[in-house]
A and B are shown apart, each in its own frame.
Chain A
Amino acid sequence: MKRFRFAAAGLLALALIGLSGPAAAVEVGEKAPDFELISTKGGKFKLSSLAGKKNVVVQFYVLDFTPT
């Protein structure tokens, strides 16, 4: 019985973690995390390189060659 309750509590904890999402989720009004990634336009691209210059649309997509 005790083991079963412990397992259930563990499952609940995991479910709560899943619901709240990773701690680093970014919301409107927060600073956009900087990144530096390999670019198809050559070399690396750093988000902060556009600071003060342009508004930026950052899209995340699922897979190349698929609709999303």
Chain B
Amino acid sequence: MVTAAIPGGRLVILLAAFILGGAPVPSRAAAVDFKAIPRLQELKDRPAAPDFTLPAPDGRKVSLRNFHGKVVFLNFWATWCESCREEMPSMERLYREFRGKGLEIVAVNVKDKRRDALAFVKELKLSYPILMDPEGEVGLLYGAFGLPVTYLIDRKGIVLARLWGPADWNSPAARNLFRALVEQKP
């Protein structure tokens, strides 16, 4: 702890907090830096994410709008997609850290058989929601002609950014990005 011969003890406390690793100004949320993920494109016109309804593997129908209020990581994947297989463990780790803070990962499987998708999920021990798009219609709407493609959607259903291709979603920079996203005031 640094003591200083300055009128008022406030500076001392601020320095201590800084040294201990906390930001001394808690009211300002961290800035959202999309450059944290290589090739992640910010969608500056902020389009609304088109709603859709797809079944979960158990048949239950789920709509994208059901996730309003959460930051949504919308990912399109398939079992034959090598890069999808590579990035999913990092998605799972990201999910475990931020699920309780308002992050939802919605992973839409495009045109696989249900049993193949389920085997893949079981093999990789994935815990986030999976939806099935057997006709590929939602995939087409979201530009998922190549996989994976990922959209970052805010709590109001507005698309913030899009990435064609895989990423390490659990890198320190990525985690900072998601920390900032979940901390954004709705």
Contact = CB atoms under 8 A, between A and B. Distances in A.
Contacts of A63: 140
A64 to B, nearest CB: 7
A65 B147 CA distance: 12
A64 B145 CA distance: 9
Interface string B26-51: 00000000000000000001000000
B143 interface: yes
A21 to B, nearest CB: 27
Interface in A21-68: 42, 63-66
Contacts of A64: 140, 143
Contacts of B145: 65-66
Contacts of A66: 145
Nearest to B145: A65
B66 to A, nearest CB: 26
Chain B interface size, as a band, is under 10
Contacts of A65: 140, 143, 145
Interface residues of A, number: 5
A66 B140 CA distance: 9
Nearest to B144: A65
Nearest to B146: A65
Contacts of B143: 64-65
A36 B10 CA distance: 63
Interface in B125-152: 140, 143, 145
B139 to A, nearest CB: 9
A65 B143 CA distance: 7
Contacts of A42: 45
A37 to B, nearest CB: 17
Q: Which of A42, A65, A66 has the most CB of B within 10 A?
A: A65
Nearest to A66: B145
A53 to B, nearest CB: 27
Contacts of B45: 42
Given A63-B140, A65-B140, 6 more contacts: A42-B45, A64-B140, A64-B143, A65-B143, A65-B145, A66-B145
8 contacts: A42-B45, A63-B140, A64-B140, A64-B143, A65-B140, A65-B143, A65-B145, A66-B145
Interface of B: 45, 140, 143, 145
Instruction: List the 8 shortest-distance A-B pairs measured between CB atoms, nearest first.
Output: A65-B145, A65-B143, A65-B140, A63-B140, A64-B140, A64-B143, A66-B145, A42-B45
